[in-house]
Amino acid sequence: MTELQVASPTVAPGRLFGVSLGPGDPGLITRSAWALLQRRDVVWTYPVRSLRKEGYALDIALRAGLTLPAQHQPLLFPMTHDVEKLARHWLKAAEAVKALLATGQDVLFLVEGDASTYASFCYLARVLRELDAEAKIDIVPGVTSFNAACARLQMPLSEQDDTIAIVPAAYGIAAVERMLDDFDTLVLMKVKPLLDDLIDLLERRGLLPHSRFIEKAGSPVERIVHDVAALKGSKVNYLSLLLVKNPNRERGEIIRGCRKKTTIELEEETQE
């Protein structure tokens, strides 16, 4: 008698979604993200800095009134500059997600702010692709911390021909100072460790009146500080940033390629 050959059922792997939740106000969760978060047949994963802490992204989802699905898993992304330690944790997180996807389930990775902006999702997606070039990955974009900050502070990010730089302040004071010469608006992220030095720089450059600080924008414990100098010597939360405008910036000539000429400019041209 020939043995009956039973083919083992192959499960199509699931898809990973980087789900941006905005910086803290549940009202800033997009409709696309919201629709995904209603699904109960998915696994929620979310970044934590320590396995004893809940994580800010999950906190945003829970404050929005969403409930965890039956399957959920924190993924550890420690705060460290130790590149080997970071690489180990990114790999561990990507392996965990790969194993979940292999069961055929879709996996949501919750992201604070926008998933493409300084987010642990970027590392997760990259390492997952290294493990499996065929991995299916989607990104739901979201509101960044600095877009929300501009709205809360009623400070335009950019007007007309303004230049903008979004900079992790960790580059140091000299780098930030150089950028003041080239950009009308600086968004200084991750300011916590350098805040006092940044305040000194802003004072020296006469820019304190044009600077604003915001912590945990959009959350119930949001803090806005207009008098940035008053923060000197105090401790701030990691989730804080500075918006700095430089009204004294010297601008070069603007090539008016995409701007309509004024009647006066046109008249001047015909007279030449």
Where are the alpha helices (H) located in 106-161, listed in sequence order?
Answer: 120-131, 145-153
Write out the binding residues for ligand SAM, residues 124-163 only, by CB under 6 A.
144-145, 149
Q: Candidates 11-19, 63-71, 96-104, 113-121 — which segment interacts with ligand SAM by CB under 6 A?
A: 113-121
Q: Largest Cα–Cα distance in the chain?
A: 102
Give the angle subtended at the CA of 20 by the CAs of 37 and 241, to the nearest 5°.
Answer: 140
Write the CB contacts of 117 (distance below 8 Å, at least 6 apart in sequence).
144
**What is the rounded distance in angstroms from the CA atom of residue 55 to the CA atom of residue 47?**
6
Q: Does 214 bind ligand SAM (CB under 6 A)?
A: yes
Q: How far is the CB of 235 from ligand SAM (least distance, A)?
A: 14
Q: 145 vs 211, which CB is nearer to ligand SAM? A: 145
Q: What is the DSSP string of 177-243?
A: HHHHTT-SEEEEES-GGGHHHHHHHHHHTT-GGGEEEEESTTSTT-EEES-GGGGTT----SSEEEE
Contact code string over 162-201 relative to ligand SAM, x by CB under 6 A:
---------------------------xx-----------
Among 13, 14, 18, 23, binds ligand SAM (CB under 6 A): 23
The span from the CA of 91 to the CA of 48, in Å, is 15
Q: Return the ∠ at Cα 160 (arms to 223 and 142), rounded to 5°.
A: 45
Nearer to ligand SAM, 147 or 246 (CB): 147
Q: Select from 156-164, 197-205, 225-233, 237-245 the region that touches ligand SAM (CB under 6 A).
A: 237-245
How far apart are CB 209 and ligand SAM at their closest, in Å?
21
Q: Which of 36, 71, 91, 118 binds ligand SAM (CB under 6 A)?
A: 118
Which parts of this chain interact with ligand SAM (CB under 6 A)? 23-24, 112-114, 117-119, 144-145, 149, 189-190, 214-218, 238-241
